[in-house]
Structure 1
Amino acid sequence: MICKGADTLTTLTEGFCFGEGPRWFEGLLWFSDMLGEAVHTVNLHGDLTTLPLPGHHPSGLGFRPDGTLLIVSGEQRRLLRYDGYTLDEVADLSDVVPAALGDMVIDNAGRAYIGSQAREGGVIARVDPDDSIAIVAETLDFPNGMVITPDRTTLIVAESTGRRLTAFSIRADGSLSDRRIFAEGLDGPPDGICLDAEGGVWVAMTLAHAFERIEAGGTITDRIEMGDRTAIACALGGPERRTLFLLSSTDAYPQRLIGTKQSRLDAMTVDIPGAGLP
């Protein structure tokens, strides 16, 4: 196992409240500032832009095939759409989910899979391109980060309070089946995740203050120690998708960070490129 310290990282930007949902798209890393009520973009030089979202707590992000940005408004339990000019509501999930919304992954058909983060009894909701809503997985323990494999047949979700990664088969109609364990007994509650070309999943281990690369079955091949910082979410992007972007904060519980600006985005080059979705 390779263990690396935070001193191997390059800091791209900092000074925001609570970063979540990083996504690489068209030469930029997009990420939510959940408590700062904004979505940011940053390039590889660290240049930052901001889309203010007053009244919303953005979490999961993703892009439909036409390039439209979808934004999860977590506490409000809504899915928003931003086309570069206007922001509007795609779906109100407040009547069909048990808790606030969290992370999201969008497939090639434009179907958005969104976790509702109940500590027990969490669900994954699917919002289709026609904006219809379906519940496709239930009884999850705080569903969090999600990825879809390159062959588009498997969805992997981090169950934070369950301390495991769970896999589902994706049927042609977008429904989920064949629930199974990808890895369990993790070092800490997993948050955001991303997938590489050899099937390894990079996982933000919040309370373990580290990012780990985990293979099916639970083998840890790489570990990036973050010192006293809390690992929140990660993404693979940049040239050849070999840049690993790491969002960290000073606390795992967002409520304790209201009014602060201590979150940070770091980056490092990895050997195995990213793969799949997002």
Structure 2
Amino acid sequence: MSSSQIRTVVSGMSFTECPRWHDGRLWFVDFYTHTVNSVNDDGSDLRTELEVPTQPSGLGWLPDGRLLVVSMKDRKVLRVGADGVVEVHADVSGHVSGHPNDMVVDEHGRAWLGNFGFDLMAGADLDTADLLRIDPDGTVTTVAAGLYFPNGSVVTPDGTTLLVDETLGNRISAFAIGADGSLGPRRDWARFGDPPATTALGEVLAGAVVAPDGCGLDADGCLWTADALGNRVIRVREGGEVVDEVVLDTGAFACMLGGRSGTTLFICCAPDFDEHARSAAREATIRAVEVAVGHAGRP
């Protein structure tokens, strides 16, 4: 795709993440201003919907319309009522080994939540992480283990498969979802290279062929995913074939289809993911480009 097709929707942010198209608006978080925001698809009427002092991340909605938002640094998932009252939906501090991050909420109100697994910003050695399921009543269950930074996740339109981007594992994993919310064995949905053979973070980052981050499904069953180390978003077919890409002049850390026709690809962009650099600047944006195939599945 030509870079001339890309437009800027939002600018002047710290680090945009977790874009979601909901009720005719684009919702997203900005890490270091600690805000959940929404905006029209043309960039007009930017609103701060919620402040999360301990850093917001993944977004989703329960079947009754209440908002769920990850609060990263106190390791909780918050719930916002119709009256605007914020409550703790789940405390996951005893279930994660790093900051909880991206999340997808399915049609039953079950939230599927990943976490870093280690202290990324301190440059700690890589460690694997668990994937959690949070039921509508707030019960927390570990449903998968041994994942390399489980990050952006989607549920297929029929509700039977969960896809999880493993940002530092060179792969996208798939799990069958049981009727009771249990997950089947992990399988490769897409494999871009070998899993890490070392825990040294610098070597792991250097060995990443694709670092799949925030993502969204389209109606052809392909997954648009941000390549967090590649300054691009890619459209991937099951099996790992990259069938399209949008190359950017900056880093890309999440993407999602939305807009009035479902064919606008929104991309969360920033120069890098360094917490100290991003919190001190306002260089993050959300870009958009039109694509041929529209949104499917959840988010």
Tell me, yes or no, whether TM beats 0.5. yes
Query: Any gaps of 5 or more consecutive residues in structure 2?
Result: 118-125, 194-208
Are positions 1:17 and 2:31 aligned together?
A: no
Instruction: Point out the structure with the larger strand share.
Output: 1
Separation of aligned partners in 2, 1:185 and 1:54: 35
Q: Which residue of 2 aligns with 1:225?
A: 247
| Residue 227 of structure 2, aligned match among 202, 205, 213 | 205
Q: Which residue of 2 aligns with 1:189?
A: 211
| Residue 66 of structure 1, aligned match among 53, 64, 67 | 64
Helix, strand or coil at the partner of 1:240: coil
Are positions 1:27 and 2:24 aligned together?
A: yes
Deviations 1:82-127 (A, max 9, x none): 1252212111110121111010000111000110211432111111
Are positions 1:105 and 2:127 aligned together?
A: no
Alignment coverage as a number of residue pairs: 274
Deviations 1:52-103 (A, max 9, x none): 4252210100111111110001121100011252212111110121111010
Are positions 1:149 and 2:117 aligned together?
A: no
Q: Which residue of 2 aligns with 1:127?
A: 134
TM-score of the pair, normalised by structure 1: 0.95
Helix, strand or coil at the partner of 2:296: coil
Letter in 2 for 1:69: L
Q: Which residue of 2 aligns with 1:51?
A: 49
After superposition, the Cα gap between the structure-2 partners of 1:106 and 1:52, relative to the gap in structure 1 and judged at 3 Å, is: closer
TM-score of the pair, normalised by structure 2: 0.89
After superposition, the Cα gap between the structure-2 partners of 1:54 and 1:156, relative to the gap in structure 1 and judged at 3 Å, is: closer
Helix, strand or coil at the partner of 1:241: coil
Give the C-alpha shift of residue 163 in structure 1: 1.7
Query: Any gaps of 5 or more consecutive residues in structure 1?
Result: none
Q: Which residue of 2 aligns with 1:214?
A: 236
Give the C-alpha shift of residue 224 in structure 1: 0.5
Separation of aligned partners in 1, 2:185 and 2:131: 15
Q: Which residue of 1 aligns with 2:121?
A: none
Give the C-alpha shift of residue 254 in structure 1: 3.1
Letter in 1 for 2:230: A
Letter in 2 for 1:51: E
Separation of aligned partners in 1, 2:52 and 2:112: 24
After superposition, the Cα gap between the structure-2 partners of 1:251 and 1:169, relative to the gap in structure 1 and judged at 3 Å, is: same
CA contact (8 A) 2:36 2:52 kept: no
The answer to which of 126-135 and 53-62 deviates more is 53-62
Helix, strand or coil at the partner of 1:45: coil
Q: Which residue of 1 aligns with 2:89?
A: 90
| Residue 261 of structure 1, aligned match among 255, 264, 282 | 282
Letter in 1 for 2:256: A
